[in-house]
Chains A and B, each alone.
Chain A
């Protein structure tokens, strides 16, 4: 075990040191079996007569499917079944539909067109893997190659090809906007006061999680019409729910066994192999294995997406950063998966662990003809952290300052207001910097060596939500008809100081008994929830909003990044679009719904277990779906 040094002298009064596990070396619970080779992974579950399933994949970045000729493959030895897109009962899904976030945008098998290299269009089930591979090679697809776009900034130009028809602007929708906005203070006026402007662009590449065990699943019929599925997934219930939805089977018929993952790191969340294997078992009545080989893992296994960040700082000569502006692009590939959500997490993290009084960010979730991107460790913040810390060095150079001292000078401290309007606590950047400097024999000036994250934070100035300049630039669809600068525009309206947000008005409670009593919340909350968004108060929790008088929708809005998964952007009241007219679209059929649903939610039918409505998976319980 590597040597760990515990600096228990720091924050000594904030912890009791009587814990049995934390701070002590421990052995991973599953490591003995892994090292001795006795762990049974999903692929070690052997079935008599196991069939093998393999996909026919696109060799093109973007192409329409004119025709698929399977006549040669059907009669090949060992071939049991050719699986076509029409065999998938509910062939459109998005991963986060299980928590009501985003629109269904990705087929399990694509029938009309492919939008990335390696996208599956049909599959073969055969007695042996080799027979399946041979049959896949014998299937002829007639492709009509389409122009593709691989660069995020090119993809948001008005004339860029449409990657994903569900999002015809090549951008995910965040409320009314085609990007996630963050506004805190007034960046534009602060930049004019600044002594120096420091700008940098940072580009990350996609990173494949590269697990030792590639993604896969084995499904087999069980008794009582159930299907058992041994899987490598790292998100068992995600995979279960996704399979139930795509295949339109009640989840009670699915018996999923997982929990032994040969390396995941975020790459085994996407739940592609489980529905495929279960579909194979349903169609053939036999055990079926669907397993990516290494090349598939690298080509179609969703990586951490590439990110591009442009950062502009307004800096004073003493090293104080008074304004920071971000323009971020997440390359989410051809389908959404988890990128849209990663952005929300990333934007909540801005401007990094620093107290900067004026922050603005426009962050785009861009569809390109690349492999869809998904989660990886440090979900949503690793890329932008790389950009921020590289930029801090650049700023230090620009003002001729020791880079560690610059960080301590601008570091957030306990009690400071963060840009996403939460008060910072348990901050420890200053102490980290001091220890790092000490370990690397890096000299710090006396005021930096003695600084503390416990002191000098939370002053009236540092704890306040400033008056914030906001703009309405970048509404959904605008970019299709005209070129708009991607960076945050100058504010045209202002939100008074102290106001956390007014845009995020939660839906009214459906029943009075859904109001959570403060005493029953697992953490400490004030008995009287902050109704008036007092300065310094944490943003109101959804539950506290019941009696809040909502500011009129015509008033200025401050979209900030504190949406939680239970109040996704789609649920924003559509009335807040005001007088804005949706510009004409290329694909009217695929335009996002503009439901003018201002009425509070009312169930259409009484609650009963499951529902039987066209277009809704039966396992979903009375959840509104579009």
Chain B
């Protein structure tokens, strides 16, 4: 079985031939491994040269990022500084030069660090068909039939409000044992709106809703965040894998969340 590669000028054309034995390829950091290892589930690769995939536009405090923007491009873009740290935590330089923000949304654990960060930032997806969807909705039923992601829009967080931590065994290029991203608006030393997202604690990046509620209006100190930490693994389903046991992840998730919350407050 040989692999056939089809290229299209627009993303919409590409999305029309998807399905069956055709897979959409962007950076290829996950898909090319399957190609090299003889995956029998597909024999066509579909790509697109649509320039919209590479755009980065700001509209007010909202930024629209093309799905084909790579981790390296995010690191270099002045308006995407808040995501720079996240992009840098993905793979090594060679991976970052190829891996795209759109592809990261589909990356199974232990990958998907960017998706975790975007979930905390409440990003929205724009599909090639023109439809829009919040990232959270998409992740909740990520096995449903899909279109191709065209771009991602995200609101720039206030300075210091977004915090991110990736825990890995191998530094600096290891995969994530777990990843925490927090968006925290402060009002007079107390917390306002909070979003907490975990990567590696469930099959897909997942919000820690109970912890968010417990942190609402709390003071950011050891005792103030106690309830939040106690509730942070509620609803999570971490895996037992070669990196760590499910038990271990449940034990250390509150520890890392605590470090993140107290680090700059």
Do they bind each other?
A: yes
Give the residues in chain B near A129, CB-CB below 8 Å: 38
B-side residues, CB < 8 A to A, are 1-3, 36-38, 40
Q: Which of A130-138, A254-262, A369-377, A507-515 contacts B (4 or more CB under 8 A)?
A: A130-138
Instruction: Tell me the minimal C-beta distance from B40 to chain A in angstroms.
Output: 5
Whether A295 is near chain B, meaning CB under 8 Å from some CB there, is yes
| A residues near B37, Cβ cutoff 8 Å | 133, 293, 295
Count of A residues near B, CB < 8 Å?
A: 8
Q: Given contacts A133-B37, A295-B37, could you give 14 more A-B pairs where the C-beta distance is less than 8 Å? A: A129-B38, A130-B1, A130-B2, A130-B3, A130-B38, A133-B38, A134-B1, A134-B38, A134-B40, A136-B38, A137-B38, A137-B40, A293-B36, A293-B37
CA–CA, A186 to B2, complex, Å? 70
Q: How far is the CA of A136 from the CA of B1 in the complex (A)?
A: 12
Q: What's the nearest-Cβ distance from chain B to residue A150, in Å?
A: 15
Determine the distance from Cα of A293 to Cα of B35 in the docked complex, in whole angstroms.
13
Chain B contacts for A133, CB-based, 8 A: 37-38
Shortest A118–chain B CB gap in Å is 14
Residue of B nearest to A296 (CB): B37
Contacts of B3 in A (CB 8 A): 130
Contact string, A285-318, partner B, CB cutoff 8 A, digits 1/0?
A: 0000000010100000000000000000000000
Q: List 16 A-B contacts (CB under 8 A).
A: A129-B38, A130-B1, A130-B2, A130-B3, A130-B38, A133-B37, A133-B38, A134-B1, A134-B38, A134-B40, A136-B38, A137-B38, A137-B40, A293-B36, A293-B37, A295-B37
Q: Which residue of A lies closest to B38 (CB)?
A: A133
A residues engaging B (CB < 8 A)?
129-130, 133-134, 136-137, 293, 295
Tell me the minimal C-beta distance from B37 to chain A in angstroms.
Answer: 6
- A-B pairs with beta carbons under 8 A, tally: 16
Q: Give Cα A295–Cα B36 distance, bound, in whole angstroms.
A: 12
Q: How far is the CA of A136 from the CA of B38 in the complex (A)?
A: 10
Smallest Cβ distance from B2 to chain A, in angstroms?
7
Residues of A within 8 Å of B2, CB to CB, are 130
Complex: chain B residue closest to A130, CB-CB: B38
B1 proximity list for chain A (CB < 8 A): 130, 134
In the complex formed, the residue of A with least CB distance to B37 is: A293
Nearest 3 Cβ contacts at the A-B interface: A133-B38, A137-B40, A134-B1
Q: How far is the CA of A528 from the CA of B205 in the complex (A)?
A: 76
Collect the chain B residues with CB atoms within 8 Å of residue A295's CB. Answer: 37
CA distance A321 to B258 in the complex (A): 45
A293 to B3, CA, bound (A): 20
- Cα-based distance from A136 to B36 in the complex (angstroms): 14
- Min distance, Cβ A290 to any Cβ of chain B, angstroms: 15
* Minimum Cβ distance to chain A for residue B80 (Å): 33
Q: How far does the alpha carbon of A129 sit from the alpha carbon of B36 in the complex, in Å?
A: 9
A52 CB to nearest chain B CB (Å)? 11
Return chain B residues, CB-CB under 8 Å to A136.
38
A134: chain B residues within 8 A (beta carbon): 1, 38, 40
CA distance A137 to B37 in the complex (A): 11
For B1, the closest partner residue in chain A by CB is A134
A180 to B112, CA, bound (A): 49
Which residue on B lies nearest to A295, using beta carbons?
A: B37
Task: Give the shortest distance, in Å, between A33 (CB) and chain B (any CB).
Answer: 22
Cα distance, A133 to B34, chains bound together (Å): 12
Nearest residue (CB) in B for A138 is B40
The answer for the CA separation of A133 and B1 in the assembled complex, in Å, is: 9
The chain A residue with its CB closest to the CB of B40 is A137
CB distance from B29 to the nearest CB of A (A): 15
Complexed CA–CA distance, A133 and B40 (Å): 9
A137 to B42, CA, bound (A): 13
Measured between C-beta atoms, what is the minimum distance from B21 to chain A in Å?
13
**Who on chain A is nearest to B43 by CB?**
A134
Q: CA A130 – CA B37 in complex, angstroms?
A: 8
CA distance A330 to B3 in the complex (A): 45
A137: chain B residues at CB < 8 Å are: 38, 40
CB distance from B31 to the nearest CB of A (A): 15
Distance (Å) between the CB of B93 and the closest chain A CB?
17
Residue ID in chain A nearest B36 by CB atoms: A293
C-alpha spacing A129/B3, complex, angstroms: 13
Enumerate chain A residues within 8 angstroms of B40, measured Cβ to Cβ.
134, 137
How far is A129 from B1 in the complex, measured between Cα atoms in Å? Answer: 11
Residues of A within 8 A of B36 (CB): 293
CB A565 to nearest CB in B, in angstroms, measures 35
CA distance A295 to B3 in the complex (A): 21
Closest chain-B Cβ to A105's Cβ sits at a distance in Å of 28
State the CA gap A293–B2 with chains docked (Å): 19
- Complex CA gap A129/B40 in Å reads 14
In the assembled complex, the Cα of A130 lies from the Cα of B1 at a distance in Å of: 8
B41 to chain A, nearest CB (A): 10
Name the distance in Å between B23's Cβ and chain A's nearest Cβ. 16
For A132, give the chain B residue with the smallest CB separation.
B38
Residue of chain B at shortest CB distance from A129: B38
How far does the alpha carbon of A133 sit from the alpha carbon of B3 in the complex, in Å?
13
CA separation between A129 and B37, bound complex, in Å? 9
**Shortest distance from the beta carbon of A236 to any chain B beta carbon, whole Å:** 29
How far in angstroms is the closest Cβ of chain B from A615?
A: 38
Instruction: Give CA–CA (A134, B2) in the complex, Å.
Output: 9
Chain B proximity of A74: nearest CB distance (Å)? 16
Q: How far is the CB of A294 from chain B (nearest CB, A)?
A: 9
Query: In the complex the two chains form, what is the Cα distance from A137 to B38 in whole Å?
Result: 9
- In the complex, residue of chain B having the shortest beta-carbon distance to the beta carbon of A293: B37
A295 to B37, CA, bound (A): 9
Q: CA–CA, A136 to B2, complex, Å? A: 15
Whole-angstrom distance from the CB of A117 to the nearest CB of chain B?
14
Q: Measured between alpha carbons, how far is A136 from B37 in the docked complex, in Å?
A: 12
Distance (Å) between the CB of A78 and the closest chain B CB? 10
A174 to B40: give the CA distance in the assembly, Å: 47
CB distance from B248 to the nearest CB of A (A): 14
B143 to chain A, nearest CB (A): 24
